[in-house]
């Protein structure tokens, strides 16, 4: 049905509406008109989601400058449910707008026809038929009907006005690279993805291949699933496309995003991160808005006029606590020690390589001066001594970034050893639960390790 709510048309995709739903949407509209905040509560099963989506998308349609709808959920199934309901809402609006356009066209044709024919032609039975059809809006499709998901280009696009609705989740839920998906947990998938897409990984591949352009993959490799062990062809082809990438109007849940990205050889995860600035509706997890580490990569560029909805908002406190908490185990500290050992060995290898290269360059310089007669008249011992750099000179010539790396490793080793000692104290026979402020924790660490 189409409601008139304080002068605004609201497209509600069901034949009946509860009084509580009408009151809920009215309170929400007043909040949007005032540009403020609201805390709304409804009993479970009374249709909160469809009320939110119907009212806010109708508000966007009536006020194009109001900004995006950012819908935050707690779990991936909740995200899928929101996108399915959004498909119902925008699908219904598109059908109603189409019927209104057809009715306007029919009325225009009727005005130009024979106005003297009573009960016949466009103004007679056919007009009554159209009126009956307009008064009998279709019920929404069931959640099992997924034809509303993905690109929608007919009838003016999604929602009848070319809307773009996207959802964003972690790499684990959006990756289509077979090699990365062999990892069993989220951390492993994130690490495998970064090893193929990070700037340092791309630079290393670029130097190894000797090509000047960005590393790319062929369409054949993409068709095999982007499973090249040394690169991700989906990400490479996404980078090659650059600014030419655009997403058509539509409603994209996680599965349709993966399907659409795979069909074009583009990474769905990075594709969505780029496209969110052009979307009218975004749906993602709480962390993308609340966790500073994640929000600065995703949500920092959202316009200030955006409408932000936290569904099931009673979970916000636990999400914030989780975002600002870290769990440290003895196993993770042992892994950190081994990683620091490998990093220290790599730094020493690079340092030795630079020192050896410096000695060779100096020897070549001295040999050139001798051959030109510019270093003559000295004894063999003096000449031999003069062609050897002292260790102090070589140490000073080590690049600053390597010296900083050495200092960083030494600092981290002290921190890890301090955490190991604290963990043994807590986990020992005389240990237990202890509580201290962050400032007290830092003061204790500085006192015990001597770090600044």
pLDDT tens-digit series, residues 161-211: 788 899 988 888 889 888 888 887 888 888 888 888 888 777 777 777 765
Size (the chain), residues: 452
pLDDT value at residue 147 = 46
Tell how strand 150-151 and strand 250-252 pair up.
Answer: antiparallel
Phi, psi of 9 (to 5 degrees): -80, 125
Residues 6+ apart with CB under 8 A from 342: none
Which residues face 150 on adjacent strands?
251
Three-state helix/strand/coil letters over 234-290: HHHHHHHHHHHCCCCCEEECHHHHHHHHHHHCCCHHHHHHHHHHHCCEEEEECHHHH
In tens, the pLDDT along 125-154 reads 444 444 444 444 444 444 434 347 888 877
Nearest Cα residue to 35 out of 304, 312, 310: 304
Contact 230, 177 (CB under 8 A): no
pLDDT tens string 89-127: 998 888 888 888 888 888 888 877 655 454 444 444 444
CA dist 161 and 62 (Å) reads: 11
Distance in angstroms (rounded) separating the CA atoms of residues 394 and 403: 12
pLDDT class of 52 with cuts at 50, 70, 90: very high
pTM greater than 0.75: no
Tens-digit pLDDT profile for residues 80-92: 889 999 999 998 8
Contacts of residue 222, Cβ cutoff 8 Å, sequence gap at least 6 = 233, 234, 237, 265
The bridge status of strand 164-168 relative to strand 281-285 is parallel
Rounded mean pLDDT of the chain? 77
């Amino acid at each position: 049905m189409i409601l008139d709510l304080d002068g605004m048309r609201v497209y509600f995709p069901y034949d009946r509406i509860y009084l509580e739903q009408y009151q809920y949407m009215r309170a929400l509209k007043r909040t949007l008109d005032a540009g403020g905040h609201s805390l709304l509560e409804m009993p479970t099963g009374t249709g909160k989601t469809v009320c939110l989506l119907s009212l806010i998308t109708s508000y966007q349609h009536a006020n194009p400058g109001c900004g995006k709808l950012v819908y935050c959920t707690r779990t991936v199934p909740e995200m899928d449910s929101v996108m399915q309901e959004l498909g119902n809402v925008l699908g219904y609006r598109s059908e109603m707008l189409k019927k209104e356009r057809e009715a306007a066209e029919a009325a225009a044709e009727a005005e130009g026809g024979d106005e003297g024919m009573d009960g016949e032609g466009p103004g007679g039975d056919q007009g009554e038929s159209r009126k009956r059809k307009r008064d009998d809006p279709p019920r929404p499709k069931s959640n099992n009907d997924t034809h509303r998901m993905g690109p929608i280009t007919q009838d003016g696009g999604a929602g009848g006005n070319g809307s773009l609705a996207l959802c964003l989740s972690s790499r684990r839920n959006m990756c289509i690279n077979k090699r990365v998906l062999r990892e069993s947990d989220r951390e492993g998938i994130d690490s495998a993805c970064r090893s193929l897409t990070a700037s340092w990984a791309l630079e290393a591949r670029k130097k190894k291949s000797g090509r000047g352009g960005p590393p790319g993959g062929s369409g054949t490799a993409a068709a095999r699933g982007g499973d090249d062990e040394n690169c991700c062809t989906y990400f490479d082809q996404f980078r090659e496309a650059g600014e030419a990438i655009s997403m058509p109007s539509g409603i994209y849940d996680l599965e349709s995003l993966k399907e659409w990205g795979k069909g074009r050889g583009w990474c769905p995860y990075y594709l969505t991160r780029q496209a969110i600035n052009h979307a009218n509706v975004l749906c993602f997890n709480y962390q993308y808005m609340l966790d500073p580490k994640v929000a600065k990569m995703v949500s920092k560029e959202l316009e200030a006029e955006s409408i932000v909805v936290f569904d099931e908002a009673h979970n916000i406190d636990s999400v914030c606590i989780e975002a600002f908490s870290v769990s440290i185990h003895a196993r993770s500290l042992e892994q950190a020690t081994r990683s620091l050992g490998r990093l220290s060995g790599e730094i020493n290898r690079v340092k030795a390589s630079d020192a050896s290269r410096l000695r060779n360059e100096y020897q070549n310089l001295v040999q050139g001066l001798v051959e030109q007669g510019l270093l003559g008249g000295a004894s063999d011992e003096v000449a031999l001594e003069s062609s050897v750099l002292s260790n102090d000179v070589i140490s000073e010539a080590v690049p600053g970034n390597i010296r900083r790396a050495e200092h960083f490793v030494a600092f981290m080793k002290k921190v890890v050893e301090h955490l190991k000692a604290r963990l043994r104290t807590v986990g020992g026979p005389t240990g237990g639960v202890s509580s201290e402020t962050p400032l007290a924790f830092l003061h204790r660490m500085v006192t015990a390790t001597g770090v600044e």
